[in-house]
């Protein structure tokens, strides 16, 4: 059953909140300027020039008409001034066109560069986030909103700059109007107030709707992916899931559509109503200007200048207020983005600054360790006591969900134990520098990543600074048996892997696994952890991989998680976990004599092979 939605009705963001978000705008511009100062200042310069053109064009237009009227009445015609004015208007028109193009070009280029910059920042920031937060859905919502900055902010930049440009246009047109007929300003205010009311009324509503739908949008993205991707295609076809997924997508999208439709309708309805009032005021002004012209107070040129200026001014003011709403809404997203960047993500370990020992002396000790995942009341593991001795190969076994991977996450300081502590050479691990501590480990997780990059990159990920060290990459590949995979690939180490890209070659599960294991060998780590690293290997490859692993990592400390007892038995000791507790620990022989779960499961598997 789909989970209940709490966030479908939009939470209203009020006008004050919208305004508060504007405080991020200066920082936003500082960042844009930093991205490319030359483009930024060119853009500003063009906009300032472009802003004074409208009033100049209207003024030249007025002079032109007055001159035409003079020349119509004159007996002897002097056309020089007329042609001069036509020429001036032509130059202004061409300049305006060129400036507009330069503005949109620099807008686009700056926007592209800024979105690259923000994407890079988000990727970097995400790496600072603790695993616990990454696994939390609220965090994902925040990340999703921050990610929207990368594409949506180009519009915000140009909107704000256009706003500044329009302010200059408005100022210059106002001066022109006031000089002729101050009364027109009153009518102008009347024509513009309706737009202002409309914008205040709807400010923040689209953002509120979008924000309250973050979770659902993530679900929609997921359903789109599940219904139309190469990864899911096999099962979707086989189980005939397409219709089900499409309907689920449609059901949820329709709800969103209905809400945005109702908002858009309200906005359009009120907008039209207020617009009629505004247009009426404009025609009032027009009538006033016509009366004055007929009475001989204004010339024909004045009439065109004033009516043109008034209309322009009204449009510019309307645009100014409408854009203001768009800006405040976008600024709210900006707030999400900067808050994401500024937040210092909760660290499991903040006090640690001890340097790591060069070589492990005694090993790791789990002392009465218990753990509950954040926001969960359930003890996943509890009262865990054991030692992982220096140089020892320790295997974890236990049924699904027994807590094996969780113990690894605790050992790696991805999470801090809820109770008890973990020690390295007698010192609590949280006292060590966390980054250096995590560098101590070479880990291949059960759900290791299949990077859709080249094979070289996939192996070098274990120690990315050594990506050009061919002998080291080859040696890692040889140790993990990945070299057999490479010989079959036409482009060898430069082969693009995966199906996503052109010339990409997909590998079998076992082949991917061999490459992932090569990553562990690539890193000359003190402690190696292999969490079911060979589950996709065939029996022969698995035995070979483990025999090699034991030989090649002699003297190194290692933890191996596996469900295959034939593999597990080569470890120095085996720890059996059941329901989050240590049931037994010892060598294969000791546990067989114990005749408890290990012996039972071992015999069960052995019987299966007979
Ligand atoms: N991020 C998480 N948040 C909440 N609970 C989790 C999380 N990860 C795992 N669990 C729960 O913790 C328990 C132990 O999971 P863990 O992955 O440690 O088991 P495991 O022994 O490695 O299992 P398997 O053999 O299936 O890999 C499970 O009940 C699981 O549902």
Q: Over the stretch 5-44, which tens digit does the pLDDT of each residue have?
A: 444 445 555 556 667 778 888 999 999 999 999 999 999 9
Query: What's the chain's Rg over C-alpha atoms?
Result: 35
**Who contacts 163 (Cβ-Cβ below 8 Å, separation ≥6)?**
320, 323, 324, 327
CA of 376 to the centre of ligand 1 (A): 12
Closest residue by Cα to atom 29, ligand 1, is 401
The structural domains of the chain, with segments of one domain joined by +, span: 15-342, 354-440+526-610, 450-524
Q: Work out the pLDDT band at 127, boundaries 50, 70, 90.
A: confident
CB of residue 378 inside a 6 A radius of ligand 1:
no
CB of residue 403 inside a 6 A radius of ligand 1:
yes
- Please give the ipTM for the structure prediction: 0.96
Mean pLDDT over all residues of the chain?
84
- Could you give the C-alpha distances from 144 to 128, 138, 217, 221, 435, in angstroms and in order? 16, 10, 9, 11, 26
Residue 3 above 50 pLDDT?
no
CB of residue 136 inside a 6 A radius of ligand 1:
no
Residue 512 above 80 pLDDT?
yes
Opening angle at CA 325, ends 200 and 7, nearest 5: 85
Tell me if 480 sits within 8 A of 455, measured CB to CB.
no
- Choose the residue to mutate in 375, 397, 406 for probing ligand 1, maximizing ligand atoms within 8 Å of C-beta: 406
Q: Work out the pLDDT band at 346, boundaries 50, 70, 90.
A: low
CB of residue 373 inside a 6 A radius of ligand 1:
yes
CB of residue 381 inside a 6 A radius of ligand 1:
no
Each residue's pLDDT tens digit, 145-183: 777 655 666 788 888 889 889 999 999 888 888 887 787
- State the fold for domain 354-440+526-610: Rossmann fold (3.40.50)
* Per-residue pLDDT at 273: 85
Which carries the bigger pLDDT value, residue 207 or residue 519?
519
CA of 380 to the centre of ligand 1 (A): 7
Q: How many Cβ atoms are within 10 Å of 444's Cβ, its own excluded?
A: 21
CA of 458 to the centre of ligand 1 (A): 27
Closest residue by Cα to atom 3, ligand 1, is 373
CB of residue 400 inside a 6 A radius of ligand 1:
yes
Distance CA 302, CA 243 (A): 67
Please state the rounded mean pLDDT for residues 520-525.
86
Residue 473: alpha-carbon gap to chain centroid: 32
| Closest to 23 (Cα-Cα) out of 318, 327, 320, 319 | 327
Positive/negative CA dihedral, 333, 337, 343, 347: positive
Distance CA 480, CA 541 (A): 10
Distance CA 444, CA 520 (A): 7
| Closest to 590 (Cα-Cα) out of 604, 572, 608 | 572
* Per-residue pLDDT at 5: 45
Strand-by-strand arrangement of the 441-444 sheet? 441-444, 527-531, 557-561, 393-398, 573-578, 581-586
CB of residue 401 inside a 6 A radius of ligand 1:
yes
Which CATH number applies to 15-342? 1.20.1560.10
Tell me if 216 sits within 8 A of 252, measured CB to CB.
yes
CB of residue 374 inside a 6 A radius of ligand 1:
no
Q: Which atom of ligand 1 is nearest to the CA of 376?
A: 4
CA of 405 to the centre of ligand 1 (A): 7
Phi, psi values for residue 302, rounded to 5°? -60, -40
* Per-residue pLDDT at 4: 43
Tell me if 131 sits within 8 A of 414, measured CB to CB.
yes
Each residue's pLDDT tens digit, 544-579: 777 778 877 888 899 999 888 877 888 899 999 999
CA of 82 to the centre of ligand 1 (A): 85
Torsion of Cα atoms, 223 then 225 then 227 then 233, to 10°: -150
- Choose the residue to mutate in 135, 380, 402 for probing ligand 1, maximizing ligand atoms within 8 Å of C-beta: 380
Q: Which atom of ligand 1 is nearest to the CA of 396?
A: 21
Residue 515 above 60 pLDDT?
yes
CA of 387 to the centre of ligand 1 (A): 22
Upper half-sphere CA count for residue 264 (Cβ side, 13 Å):
6
Residue 1 above 60 pLDDT?
no
Tell me if 413 sits within 8 A of 456, measured CB to CB.
no
* Per-residue pLDDT at 123: 84
| Closest to 506 (Cα-Cα) out of 240, 234, 242, 245 | 234
Residue 458 above 50 pLDDT?
yes
Query: Which residues are paired to 585 by β-bridges?
Result: 575
Opening angle at CA 210, ends 16 and 108, nearest 5: 90
CB of residue 575 inside a 6 A radius of ligand 1:
no
CA of 532 to the centre of ligand 1 (A): 14
């Amino acid at each position: 059953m789909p989970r209940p939605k709490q966030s479908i009705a939009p939470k209203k963001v009020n006008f004050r909140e919208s305004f508060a978000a504007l405080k991020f705008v200066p920082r936003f511009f500082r960042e844009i300027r930093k991205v490319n100062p030359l483009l930024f200042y060119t853009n500003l310069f063009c906009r300032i020039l472009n802003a004074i053109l409208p009033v100049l064009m209207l003024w030249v237009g007025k002079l032109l008409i007055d001159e035409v009227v003079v020349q119509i009445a004159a007996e002897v015609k002097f056309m020089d001034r007329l042609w001069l004015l036509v020429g001036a208007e032509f130059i202004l028109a061409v300049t305006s066109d060129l400036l507009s193009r330069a503005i949109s070009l620099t807008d686009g280029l700056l926007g592209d560069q800024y979105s690259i910059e923000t994407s890079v920042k988000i990727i970097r920031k995400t790496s600072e986030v603790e695993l616990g937060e990454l696994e939390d859905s609220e965090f994902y919502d925040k990340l999703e909103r921050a990610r929207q900055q990368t594409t949506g902010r180009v519009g915000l930049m140009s909107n704000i700059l256009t706003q500044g440009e329009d302010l200059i246009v408005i100022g210059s047109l106002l001066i022109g109007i006031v000089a002729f007929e101050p009364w027109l300003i009153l009518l102008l205010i009347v024509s513009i107030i309706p737009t202002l009311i409309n914008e205040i009324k709807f400010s923040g509503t689209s953002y509120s709707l979008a924000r309250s739908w973050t979770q659902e949008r993530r679900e929609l993205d997921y359903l789109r992916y599940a219904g139309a991707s190469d990864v899911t295609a096999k099962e979707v076809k086989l189980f005939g899931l397409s219709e089900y997924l499409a309907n689920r997508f449609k059901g949820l999208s329709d709800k969103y559509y209905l809400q945005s439709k109702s908002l858009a309708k309200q906005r359009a309805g009120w907008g039209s109503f207020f617009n009629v009032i505004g247009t009426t005021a404009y025609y009032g002004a027009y009538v006033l200007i016509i009366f004055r012209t007929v009475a001989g107070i204004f010339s024909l040129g004045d009439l065109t200048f004033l009516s043109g200026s008034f209309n322009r001014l009204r449009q510019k003011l309307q645009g100014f207020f409408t854009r203001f709403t768009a800006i405040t809404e976008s600024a709210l997203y900006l707030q999400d983005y900067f808050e994401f960047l500024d937040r210092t993500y909760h660290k499991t370990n903040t006090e640690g600054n001890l340097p790591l020992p060069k070589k492990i002396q005694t090993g790791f000790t789990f002392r009465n360790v218990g753990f509950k995942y954040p926001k969960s009341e359930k003890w996943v593991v509890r009262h865990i006591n054991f030692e992982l001795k220096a140089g020892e190969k320790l295997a974890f076994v236990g049924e699904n969900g027994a807590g094996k991977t969780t113990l690894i996450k605790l050992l790696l300081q991805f999470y801090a134990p809820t109770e008890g502590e973990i020690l390295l050479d007698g010192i609590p691990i949280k006292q060590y520098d966390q980054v250096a501590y995590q560098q101590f480990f070479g880990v291949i997780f059960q759900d290791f990543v299949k990077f859709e990059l080249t094979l070289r990159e996939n192996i070098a990920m274990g120690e990315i600074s050594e990506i050009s060290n061919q002998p080291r990459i080859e040696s890692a590949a040889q140790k993990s048996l990945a070299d057999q995979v490479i010989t079959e690939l036409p482009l060898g180490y430069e082969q693009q892997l995966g199906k996503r890209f052109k010339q990409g070659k997909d590998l079998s599960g076992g082949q991917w696994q061999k490459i992932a294991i090569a990553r562990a060998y690539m890193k000359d780590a003190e402690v190696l952890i292999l969490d079911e690293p060979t589950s996709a290997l065939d029996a022969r490859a698995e035995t070979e991989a483990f025999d090699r692993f034991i030989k090649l990592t002699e003297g190194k400390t290692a933890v191996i998680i596996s469900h295959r007892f034939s593999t597990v038995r080569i470890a120095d000791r085996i720890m059996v976990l059941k329901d989050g507790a240590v049931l037994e620990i010892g060598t294969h022989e000791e546990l067989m004599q114990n005749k408890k779960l290990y012996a039972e499961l071992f015999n069960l598997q052995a019987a299966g092979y007979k």
